[in-house]
Amino acid sequence: MAWIGKVLSNIIRARKVSEPEVKAEIYKGDTNYATRFGSPGDDSKPLPGDSVLLLDLETRGGKVAVGYVDPKNASSVDDGERHIYSRDADGNIKAFVRWLKTGILRLNGTGDFAVRFIALQTAFNQLKTDHDDLVTKHNTHVHITTAVVGGGGGAGTISPTVTTGSPTTADIAPAKISEIEVPS
């Protein structure tokens, strides 16, 4: 038999095998304890007030919790999409990962984009090299002047550049997020 209840709390009771459980109410005053079941690798806990689907276990006795509904945050995904999020104690979404049917992956919002660091670094390093080459050419070029103080003509003078530039020390390596990889 299946029941829909309301989550009261998450618990782990000391038993032969410690399993995560949920304390739930099917109707007022009817307290049930159910082992939480979810997908492997998905370790998440419902909040008090979430709806829970409880199944009776005839062979083992007791109930298992196999799914939850967040009553505060309505589903907003399109067919084929996936949205996983965390919530604070009041049920407000705090962090999320969303896989869109367009192939876009969203981490905590929109408004900016991740970059392909290797391509960015290649372009940046070329710009840095071009800049430094220009600075070297500027610093080593000379001026030939024919003006002589006092107005008389004369031989030209060769003088080095008075104002010199400096090679750049710019570095984008600190911008790399090593924990997130994207396809090249």
85 and 61 in one domain? no
* Cβ-contact 55, 62 below 8 angstroms: no
87 and 55 in one domain? no
121 and 79 in one domain? no
Give the pLDDT score at 38.
83
* Cβ-contact 24, 4 below 8 angstroms: no
Tell me if 137 is assigned to some domain: yes
Tell me if 181 is assigned to some domain: no
**Coarse DSSP helix, strand, coil percentages of the chain, rounded to the nearest 5 percent:** 15, 35, 55
Is residue 100 scored above 60 in pLDDT? Answer: yes
Write the DSSP symbol of residue 95: E
Give the pLDDT score at 91.
95
Which region among 43-52, 53-62, 91-100, 126-135 has the lowest average model confidence (pLDDT)? 53-62
100 and 60 in one domain? no
Last residue in a domain, options 113, 144, 167: 113
Tell me if 94 is assigned to some domain: yes
29 and 61 in one domain? yes
Give phi and psi for 101, each to the nearest 5.
Answer: -65, -10
* Cβ-contact 22, 46 below 8 angstroms: yes
pTM check: above 0.75: no
Percent of the chain beyond pLDDT 70?
Answer: 90
State the residue for tokens 């806990």.
Answer: 45
Tell me if 153 is assigned to some domain: yes
Which region among 20-24, 27-31, 114-118 has the lowest average model confidence (pLDDT)? 114-118
Q: Which pair of structure tokens corresponds to residue 51?
A: 């709806």
Give the pLDDT score at 70.
95
CA distances from 91 to 50, 61, 94 (A): 9, 32, 9
Is residue 135 scored above 80 in pLDDT? Answer: yes
Give the pLDDT score at 146.
64
Place 1 in a pLDDT band, splitting at 50, 70 and 90: confident
57 and 29 in one domain? yes
49 and 12 in one domain? yes
Tell me if 182 is assigned to some domain: no
Tell me if 20 is assigned to some domain: yes
Tell me if 134 is assigned to some domain: yes
Q: How many domains does the chain have?
A: 3
Q: What's the mean pLDDT when you consider all of the chain?
A: 86
Closest CA to 20 of 30, 28, 11: 11
Place 51 in a pLDDT band, splitting at 50, 70 and 90: very high
57 and 26 in one domain? yes
Q: Which domain holds residue 38?
A: 2-69
